[in-house]
Homo-oligomer: A and B are copies of this chain.
Amino acid sequence: MRSYGQYCSVAKALDVVGDRWTLLIVRELLSRGPCRYTDLRSGLPGIATNLLADRLRELEAAGLVEREDAPPPIATTLFRLTERGAGLAPVIDALGRWGVPLMRDHRAEDAFRGQWLRLPVRMFLTDHEPDRPASSIQIHAGDQSVVIDADAGRVSLRLGADPDADATVTGSPPRILALLSGGLGLADAEEQGLRVAGSREAVLRVLPRTGNAIGDSAPAEGNVS
């Protein structure tokens, strides 16, 4: 990116991370931790492979990312954020928070990845019953599966499926997000096509008590595979 040529820290920051895709690569590394090239590409649907390689080189040159040749169990190179790179977390958070109202307009062709729920989980969910034993909720959002754990006051997210989860929630990404953000109550969400199985308490344990107003005006949906 051509420099703005302005002696202002906002402009200087954008000189480094203002390029298209750059902040999304950082988002991906922040929410997934060290990643292989392929992991990054699958977490950044739409990016051209040469652009990803370019950006990684630039990020490395700028000292935000470093590559590491992982030993045998992985046997490939990993990309990880440096401390300086991880320092962008407040920027990603601020953008993500500002972007929340935009999640109402979901377009059919929008891609979705389970790890993108990490930010809303951190933003909206809390463990309201920290003294109860750990519980977990299996989420199936579209074709993505993640598990939300509540344990001793902390709520966290991991990718994949867990057959021992206390509850299972299935629905489209917008509906799931509406539920997590408090824009839609559990009962309303079910009425709109979201399916809940197992312990409702496990779900209510972490849902926000106050609405954040995503998706409360979305139309009802049909069956969700």
- A interface with B by C-beta (< 8 Å): 1, 4-16, 18, 20, 23-24, 27, 45-46, 87-88, 90-100, 102-103, 105-107, 109-113, 116, 119-120, 173-174
Contacts and interface: CB of A to CB of B under 8 A. Distances in A.
A46 B5 contact: yes
Nearest to A88: B98
Contacts of A1: 20
In the A-B complex, list the 6 residue pairs whose CB atoms are closest, starting with the nearest. A13-B99, A9-B99, A12-B102, A7-B110, A8-B116, A90-B94
Contacts of A92: 10
Work out how many copies of this chain go into the complex: 2
Best-surrounded residue of A13, A16, A20, A24 (most CB of chain B within 10 A) = A13
Contacts of A4: 24, 46
A129 to B, nearest CB: 27
Contact of A13 (B9, B98, B105, B174): B98
Nearest to A27: B10
A112 B5 CA distance: 9
A78 to B, nearest CB: 22
A181 to B, nearest CB: 10
18 contacts: A1-B20, A4-B24, A4-B46, A5-B45, A5-B110, A6-B113, A7-B110, A7-B116, A8-B27, A9-B95, A9-B97, A10-B23, A13-B98, A13-B102, A14-B24, A18-B20, A90-B94, A93-B94
A24 B5 contact: no
A147 to B, nearest CB: 19
Given A4-B46, A6-B111, A12-B99, 17 more contacts: A6-B46, A6-B112, A7-B106, A7-B110, A7-B173, A9-B96, A9-B97, A9-B100, A9-B120, A10-B99, A10-B119, A11-B24, A12-B103, A13-B95, A16-B102, A90-B94, A90-B97
Nearest to A101: B84
A193 to B, nearest CB: 17
A15 B98 CA distance: 12
A6 B110 contact: yes
